[in-house]
Amino acid sequence: MFPPIPDWHAMAALALAGLALILFSQDRFRLESSALLIFTALVLLFYLFPMAGPGRVLRPQFFFLGFGNEAIIAIVSLMICAKALEHTGALQATARVIADAWITRPRLALLATLLLAAVLSMFMNNTPLVAMLLPLLVGVAMRSKIDASKILMPAGYAAILGGMCTVMGSASNIVVVSIATGLGMPRLGLMEFAIPAGIGAGAGILFLWLFGSRLLPTRKAPLENTEPRVFDGILHLTAKGPADGKTIAEMLSMARGSLRLREIERGEGVFVARLPTFRLKAGDRLHVRETPSRLRELETLLGATLHAGQDKAAASDQWVAKRAEEQQIAEIVVTSNSPLHGRKVEGNPFFRQNNLVPLALHRKGVSGSGSLDAQRNVELEAGDVLLVQGRKEAIRQLKISGIFLLLDGALDAPMAARRNLAITISLGVVAAAATGLMPISVCALAGAGMMIIGKCLTREQLRSAVDTRVIMLVVTSLALGNTIAYTGGSEYLAQLFVYQAGGLSPAIVVAVLMLAVALVTEMVSNSAVAAMGTPIAFAVAAALGMSPEPLVLAVLFGANMSYLTPAGYQVNMMVMSAGGYRASDFLRLGIPLQLVVWIALSLAMAWYYDLPW
């Protein structure tokens, strides 16, 4: 019998959930803005038109509880812990060892890379993990003459597979477990579902190792060679700085090494002779040709600032950080799907919108490509490398945006002195959660506190560690998921599901639900799909008389199976930029991988929970 339509409150909640899924999948809308819009609509709807009935009055306080939900506390705390690991360079030593292995044993090195990405992503957010691995692997590919497109996508997929295996492996996992616990299911431990998840992840990693590079075509990566990236930069001497009033000979001595000084500009278009006895003064502009790291070093040694030659207005604007310690320089590789491709530097709103100043341009195949002044009206091509300057937070946002490849030098030098402390604290968090000594939210919060007390990250990095987009997305998703459950919307959808699949065996029901969630999450945030799918899984379990745990895990696993589209997962967007992939390449490798992982997980779940076929 076709299920009856529920009351209008449930239908309104389902309609808002559908609108949320549409908005969350649109790149032209900011994620946090879409989430705030849906959240506001939800609160106003149930405030102006309260839901009557015993035990079912939803007040605004019901929705606001999401900001203090255990899932949010755990996610924010884990973000801080992951940022401390990144900042201290705790993982770089291991990554460098594997990078060296690529030169001598590439096949074994590929397996080690896949396993490293998977294991690390079980206990930290995979976005900063992949952000660390991608520039490293690009460099490895260039040095060992291996096509980067053959290894980057498998590495990204391995990180997604590993994140599926533990509660702290991804934000969507924490959301599913939190909602399921609130609905009455016993709390899942950190690695309680690691056995079936490990079987699925292991099958996926084995497939990627054996067939990943064979199924992927050779693509032209944005960065293809190891030539030194030398930029023509302009150093502005500051008043009372170390070089103010010094002769050129004295300035060269202060530079601690060779300095490729091209010319000295004093005043608009007035260039002076580079005589050793010529005395410099504040306001002089030194035109030099150096690598990014050397340019940054010269800023400090000479008391100078880096700015684009004709961008004097930008140099003084409020949106540029004024204190040197607040600024970074970064190398951005222009990719075919980035907003810089095919556009000019001159008048490009991208730089102002992202609080960045373009400093110099390096064109592939040209050593020292000329000053930026002469190339402001040249259209940027894939493979061009722009040197930009901006606040640390602006650089960090670029790195995790998924549409740019930022090279290794983009971040500050890690605080190696705090490395062991950060590793110890992280291992303590994992051990406390794995043994059940503390809930994940408590031990993650304690770990974040110890990272702050131990000065494993600065105040600036602490602020940048917390991603407001994730917070608003999770809060809105929790509110929608709980509302769908309380209004009866999940029961209605469950009845529709049972109406269509009620005659199937429990093992097949779990497999079908997992595949359905996996297909939806290809175009929508996995946290949103997880939050809305968990109450439905509970209602399906009640309708079929099954234990809710395997169905809840079907939602959890499905929300992590984002292999078919670049938009399905942030990691996919990052990989697409770095490897020069096309959208069709994700289908080429993603479809067989999805089938392998889905079949392996379906068999593992049926065996682990003794579900009849």
In this predicted model, what pLDDT tens digit does every residue of 551-610 receive, in sequence order? 999 999 999 998 888 776 778 877 876 777 888 888 899 999 999 999 999 999 999 999
pLDDT of residue 194: 92
Check whether 152 has a pLDDT greater than 80.
Answer: yes
Which of residues 376 and 168 earns the better pLDDT score? 168
pLDDT of residue 597: 96
- Same domain, yes or no: 242 and 359: yes
User: Can you tell me the mean pLDDT for 324-336?
Assistant: 67
pLDDT of residue 565: 83
> Last residue of some domain: 384, 406, 428?
406
Contact 463, 517 (CB under 8 A): no
Tell me the C-alpha distance between 510 and 493, whole Å. 15
Tell me the C-alpha distance between 363 and 383, whole Å. 7
Least confident span in 325-339, 379-393, 431-445, 556-570: 325-339
What are the backbone dihedrals phi and psi of residue 388, each rounded to the nearest 5 degrees, phi first? Answer: -125, 160
- Same domain, yes or no: 289 and 213: no
- Same domain, yes or no: 333 and 261: yes
Tell me which amino acid residue 115 is.
L
CA 559, chain centre distance (Å): 16
Least confident span in 36-50, 483-497, 596-610: 483-497
Residues 65-110 pLDDT 10s: 878 788 888 888 888 888 787 777 666 666 667 767 777 788 888 8
- Same domain, yes or no: 182 and 140: yes
For residue 584, being part of any structural domain is answered with: no
- Same domain, yes or no: 375 and 284: yes
pLDDT of residue 126: 74
Check whether 19 has a pLDDT greater than 50.
Answer: yes
**Residues of the chain above pLDDT 70, percent:** 82
pLDDT of residue 528: 81
For residue 446, being part of any structural domain is answered with: yes
pLDDT of residue 228: 56
For residue 491, being part of any structural domain is answered with: no
Indicate the number of domains in the chain: 2
DSSP 426-475: HHHHHHHHHTTSS-HHHHHHHHHHHHHHTTSS-HHHHHHHS-HHHHHHHH
pLDDT of residue 366: 53
- Same domain, yes or no: 450 and 378: no
Q: In CATH, what number is assigned to the domain containing residue 320? A: 3.30.70.1450
Contact 105, 469 (CB under 8 A): no
CA 327, 30, 337: angle at the middle one, nearest 5? 75
Describe the strand order of the beta sheet including 405-406 as a list of residue ranges. Answer: 356-362, 385-391, 327-333, 405-406
Neighbour-count burial of 224, counting CB atoms closer than 10 A to its CB (0-12 exposed, 13-18 middle, 19+ buried): middle
Check whether 394 has a pLDDT greater than 80.
Answer: no
Most confident of 163-167, 227-231, 496-500: 163-167
- Report the predicted TM-score, pTM, of the whole model to 2 decimal places: 0.73
pLDDT of residue 600: 96
Domain hosting residue 325, numbered range: 231-406
Which of residues 280 and 324 earns the better pLDDT score? 280
- Same domain, yes or no: 374 and 252: yes
Residues 410-455 pLDDT 10s: 444 445 577 888 889 988 988 888 888 888 889 889 999 998 898 8
pLDDT of residue 225: 52
For residue 48, being part of any structural domain is answered with: no
- Same domain, yes or no: 242 and 220: no
Contact 431, 424 (CB under 8 A): no
Across the chain, what does the average pLDDT equal? 79
Residue whose token pair is 């490849």: 405
CA 371, chain centre distance (Å): 33
Contact 80, 454 (CB under 8 A): no
- Strands, E, within 268-384: which ranges? 271-272, 285-290, 304-306, 327-333, 356-362
- Same domain, yes or no: 462 and 319: no
User: Can you tell me the mean pLDDT for 240-266?
Assistant: 82
For residue 514, being part of any structural domain is answered with: no
For residue 492, being part of any structural domain is answered with: no
What are the backbone dihedrals phi and psi of residue 612, each rounded to the nearest 5 degrees, phi first? Answer: -70, 145
For residue 561, being part of any structural domain is answered with: no
For residue 301, being part of any structural domain is answered with: yes
> Last residue of some domain: 406, 427, 454?
406
pLDDT of residue 470: 78
Q: Which of 580, 601, 453 is nearest to 517 (CA)?
A: 601
- Same domain, yes or no: 263 and 376: yes
Tell me which amino acid residue 327 is.
Q
Least confident span in 192-196, 294-298, 534-538: 294-298
- Same domain, yes or no: 308 and 395: yes
pLDDT of residue 324: 46
- Same domain, yes or no: 283 and 208: no
Check whether 341 has a pLDDT greater than 80.
Answer: no
Neighbour-count burial of 180, counting CB atoms closer than 10 A to its CB (0-12 exposed, 13-18 middle, 19+ buried): buried
Residues 211-221 pLDDT 10s: 988 898 887 76
Tell me the C-alpha distance between 451 and 536, whole Å. 38
Check whether 320 has a pLDDT greater than 90.
Answer: no
Tell me how far CA of residue 288 lies from CA of 23, 262, 278, 370, 374, in angstroms: 47, 5, 17, 11, 15
Contact 208, 154 (CB under 8 A): yes
Which of residues 338 and 556 earns the better pLDDT score? 556
Q: Which of 415, 406, 432 is nearest to 167 (CA)?
A: 432
> Last residue of some domain: 406, 427, 458?
406
Check whether 113 has a pLDDT greater than 80.
Answer: yes
SS3 361: strand
User: Can you tell me the mean pLDDT for 177-184?
Assistant: 86
Check whether 9 has a pLDDT greater than 90.
Answer: no
